[in-house]
Amino acid sequence: MRVTVVSRSGREIVKGGVELPGSATVADLQEAIHKRTKKFYPSRQRLTLPLPPGSKERPVVLNYKKRLEDYCDGNQETITVVFKDLGPQVSYRTLFFFEYLGPLVLYPVFYYFPVYQFFGYKGKRVIHPVQTYALYYWCFHYFKRIMETFFVHRFSHATSPLLNVFRNCAYYWTFGCYIAYYVNHPLYTPVSDLQMKIGFAFGLICQVSNLYCHLLLKNLRSPDGSGGYQIPRGFLFNIVTCANYTTEIYQWLGFNIATQTIAGYIFLVVATLIMTNWALAKHRRLKKLFDGKDGRPKYPRRWLILPPFL
């Protein structure tokens, strides 16, 4: 089979095309393109079928597991595919590891080191118990996230654009320093003992629930990440689509009840907005996938992320 590989403007990416056996898969084609171009390794490539001129439809993205002949319209001898360079990629695990490593390492710097001297506070710093517990809570949270990244999550996409590492690290690292600065500040005023205990206890319950939600999500896919999207069931997923985000939001609420800083509450609001946006998209996707037609199950009625409001 002769495969012609063109860019979206119609320029040939591989001069003279690629010759492949009739049984070749899209993954074989990606390997062949990589061999010829050297630069574009498979996860950098997005291959689609060409659209008729002027068409406003979305192009069909070629699935790397499928055979090329599945995309041939009658003619099994030749096919044209449209190539897009997705730019340098990193694995999802690398992306998550670096974004979580920042807060895990930077937060303790504000607790253990005389950082505040650089900001003009020369007196002796008295450390309140809540600041120590906050350090443990924070580090447990990010350590848990790194462990989940390597041992729990089964990602459907192998890679993410390299630029996302810088964007996500900027978000997590900056907020980490911002919150750490205020919670560990020499002029920090602790909340009452009871409020601190309620906040941390509630937050910890939510962190454990969040881990359980991630284990339930993990079991929806096989170890190689295949299985697509399924209807999450069990525990809080029986009432809310994104129970993992719900527990994540509430565990930050627990942290903020215990530590009570404006910086912490700003992070809570921003994180809630981001996760709500994602939850909307995930809910819509599941409703579309499980529409109850042609033998497909119907997605049950559920809250999106924050019952009883949303």
Residue from 115, 198, 211, 220 that binds ligand NAP (CB under 6 A)?
Answer: 220
DSSP E strands in the chain: the ranges are 2-6, 18-19, 45-48, 78-85, 89-91, 159-161
Mark the segment that binds ligand NAP (CB under 6 A) among 37-45, 177-185, 213-221, 299-307. Answer: 213-221
Binding to ligand NAP (CB under 6 A): which residues in 240-259?
A: 244-245, 248
State which of residues 129, 229, 273, 296 lies at the interface with ligand NAP (CB under 6 A): 229
Contact window for ligand NAP (CB under 6 A) among 55-63, 110-118, 197-205, 267-275:
267-275
Bridge partner list, 19: 2
Binding mask 144-163 for ligand NAP (x = CB under 6 A): ---------xxxxx------
Integer CA distances (angstroms), 212 to 143, 201, 238, 239, in order: 16, 17, 13, 15
Write the Ramachandran bin of 10: left for phi over 0, alpha for psi from -120 to 50, otherwise beta: left
Question: β-pairing, 45-48 with 18-19?
Answer: unpaired
Residue 165, interface with ligand NAP (CB under 6 A)? no
Residue 14 or residue 148: which is nearer to ligand NAP going by CB? Answer: 148
Measured from the CB of residue 119, what is the shortest distance to ligand NAP in angstroms? 26
Among 275, 283, 303, 305, binds ligand NAP (CB under 6 A): 275
From CA 180, how far away is CA 264, in angstroms rounded?
9
DSSP string, 232-274: --SGGGGTBTTHHHHHHHHHHHHHHHHH--HHHHHHHHHHHHH
Residues near ligand NAP, by CB under 6 A: 153-157, 210, 217, 220-221, 229-230, 232, 244-245, 248, 271, 274-275, 278
